[in-house]
Structure 1
Amino acid sequence: MNATADLHAARSIGDLIRDARNLSAAEVERVLSYQREHGVRFGEAAVALGLASPDDVLNALAQQFHYPLANAERRDASPELVALTQPFSVQAEAVRAVRSQVVMRWNRPDAVRQGLAVISPGTGDGKTFFAANLAVSLAQLGGRTLLVDADLRSPRQHEVFKISNAAGLSSLLSGRAETQVIQSVEGVAGLFVLPCGPIPPNPLELLERPAFGLLVRELAAKFDHVVIDTAAASQGADGCVVAAKCGAALVLTRKHENKVAALQDLVASLAGSSVQLLGAVVNEF
């Protein structure tokens, strides 16, 4: 059974590369001959002969295993989305490792489905980068994942995903959303982004209103995973408020950047609340 599956996989990869590169019958035969002579896979043989590129092989594998992979244009436009643009990099693998831990701890079968707030002590800790890639990696598992940019002070998710920020979370919370504000992400089935929208003059007040908590519960009921980016604790209490409304939080800290006291203060600010603290992530990049 395994041998049959392997042969089928080899034929599938070969067909995909052949179609992508428009290889002739003679060129395919050259690849097959090289493959038999050197005992390598079709993709490796095609690359060695200069008839395909490593990107062609990655794209073929992505199609075969239904794994979202960004094309060259997207890689240039969204370099921060390493889970999508560099899926086999050290950074992407680190995100997947965190994802595994998050999935085991978050949304337990016996608990009410929650949103997950990503919080950190200071600016520049990498919350936007991490939240974006965590959302991508969760979507790659299947199901529906929503990334919400609740950083109403210095939002960046719309820049990372190259989407419109004309309307978003702030529009919903202020009752001024006239159009669909949740946007799908091209190339990643099941991934959606709710951008910040116009930066409001009263971010903390908007997040503290009951409307935000109601919105989080509604979104958590409609999506399999809801990841929420937040403003740094150094900018205000926004992150803790979002965490309380979500019910779950993940703390991010940056190596050699954050002070231990600031991290302790952030964690202490959640003490006594109903927030499920899933753990802490150290950003080493």
Structure 2
Amino acid sequence: MSDATPAAAAVEQPAVHDRSIGAIIAETRNLSADQVARVLAYQQEKNVRFGEAAIALGFASADDVMFALAQQFHYPAALGKESAHADLVTLNQPYGPQAEFFRALRSQVIMRVFPEGQSTRQALAVVSANRGDGKSFVAANLAVCLAQLGGRTLLVDADMRSPRLHELFTVSNDVGLSGILAGRATGRLVQTVTAVPGLFVLPVGAVPPNPLELIERPAFGLLMRELIGKFDYVIVDTPAADQGADALVVANRCGAALPLARRDASTLDGVRHLVRSMQDAGVNVTGAVFNDHS
């Protein structure tokens, strides 16, 4: 055990947000000592910031500078590193219009589903009428945005028909929700997402032959109550409503649902029927999202 004081340890190994923009850029771009010296000389000569000087000399890009700023402000982003899955727009293009949309959606979700002081806590199921509407895309990016606030966020893959979340976040799918509900769960179940501090994923695991029966077991409701109590935010991906009653059952156990409609695919009658069925089941329907992501 080290006898170093916390202050001494901080000096010896500074946290990312305590490091300068220049130090982060130099590490990200693997700049040599000579290149760093040239950037510093240009910076002094032109009276500009390190990032501007590095860009002017061709040693860094604007994305590298934004990545360094993101590190200082505790804002997870894939800029400057190997890109995340293309669907994770909140990581790959954190300052683009799609990411801004998800931040706005996050604000609405927090006010409607996760308000401060709420006596009865809920999870949020992302639902839609048809396959391909973008439930996994929306659930994943919304979860990233929630985790970026600093709260512990759990993303549950309850689509035991066509699971995708393990692919989006590159986590193991050997065990997961299906194993828990079948009483066969062993090993590591809830997995951390290294690129996004505070984000956790519970994948499906083995795709079962009886997904609806597993979801309808009391074990799923008990599990959701336990998870809601352990995490600040719980987002749940679901199968399409036209594949069975899974989505309705999941939403009922979560307490709240976010319906999706897709451009040039969803019908008004289909969305109305989905929302009505959720409301009839006592689900808090939080509005609707129109998804035009291809």
Q: Deviations over 1:213-245 (max 9, x none)?
A: 100000000000000000001111111110000
1:42 matched to which residue of 2?
50
1:95 matched to which residue of 2?
102
Could you tell me which of 88, 93, 98 is aligned with 1:86? 93
Tell me the secondary structure at the aligned position of residue 165 of structure 1: coil
Could you tell me which of 199, 213, 235 is aligned with 1:191? 199
1:67 matched to which residue of 2?
75
Could you tell me which of 275, 283, 290 is aligned with 1:282? 290
Could you tell me which of 111, 114, 117 is aligned with 2:125? 117
User: 1-side partners of 2:80 and 2:71: how far apart?
Assistant: 15
User: 1-side partners of 2:209 and 2:57: how far apart?
Assistant: 60
Tell me the secondary structure at the aligned position of residue 69 of structure 1: coil
Task: Give the drift of 1:19.
Answer: 4.8
Unpaired runs of at least 5, structure 1: 1-8
Q: How does 1:133-212 map to 2 (within 5 A)?
A: 133-212=141-220
Tell me the secondary structure at the aligned position of residue 279 of structure 1: coil
Amino acid at match of 2:89: V
The question of whether the paired residues in 2 share the 8 Å contact of 1:117 and 1:250 is answered with yes
User: 1-side partners of 2:27 and 2:87: how far apart?
Assistant: 30
Q: Deviations over 1:99-144 (max 9, x none)?
A: 1111111123233111110000101100001100100110000020
2:9 matched to which residue of 1?
none
Identity across matched positions, percent = 56
Amino acid at match of 1:167: V
The question of whether the paired residues in 1 share the 8 Å contact of 2:64 and 2:79 is answered with no
Matched, 1:225 2:237: no
Q: Which moved more, 1:147-156 or 1:77-86?
A: 77-86
Could you tell me which of 195, 216, 241 is aligned with 2:224? 216
In the TM superposition, structure 1's runs of 4+ consecutive aligned residues that sit over 4 Å from their partners are none
C-alpha RMSD over aligned residues: 1.8
Q: Which moved more, 1:272-281 or 1:208-217?
A: 272-281
Q: Which moved more, 1:14-23 or 1:247-256?
A: 14-23
User: 1-side partners of 2:118 and 2:233: how far apart?
Assistant: 16
Q: Evaluate the alpha carbon distance shift between residue 211 and residue 237 of structure 1 in structure 2; reply closer, same or farther with a 3 A threshold.
A: same
Matched, 1:17 2:25: yes
Tell me the secondary structure at the aligned position of residue 270 of structure 1: helix
The question of whether the paired residues in 2 share the 8 Å contact of 1:139 and 1:188 is answered with yes
The question of whether the paired residues in 1 share the 8 Å contact of 2:39 and 2:57 is answered with no
Matched, 1:126 2:134: yes
User: 2-side partners of 1:204 and 1:158: how far apart?
Assistant: 20
TM-score by structure 1 length? Answer: 0.90
Matched, 1:29 2:41: yes
The question of whether the paired residues in 2 share the 8 Å contact of 1:18 and 1:28 is answered with no
Task: Give the drift of 1:268.
Answer: 1.1
Tell me the secondary structure at the aligned position of residue 24 of structure 1: helix
Unpaired runs of at least 5, structure 2: 1-16
Q: Evaluate the alpha carbon distance shift between residue 250 and residue 25 of structure 1 in structure 2; reply closer, same or farther with a 3 A threshold.
A: same
May I ask how many residue pairs the two structures share in their alignment?
271
Task: Give the drift of 1:254.
Answer: 0.6
Tell me the secondary structure at the aligned position of residue 133 of structure 2: coil
Q: Deviations over 1:255-285 (max 9, x none)?
A: 1210111101101112333211111010022
Q: Which moved more, 1:102-111 or 1:242-251?
A: 102-111
Task: Give the drift of 1:72.
Answer: 5.5
1:258 matched to which residue of 2?
266
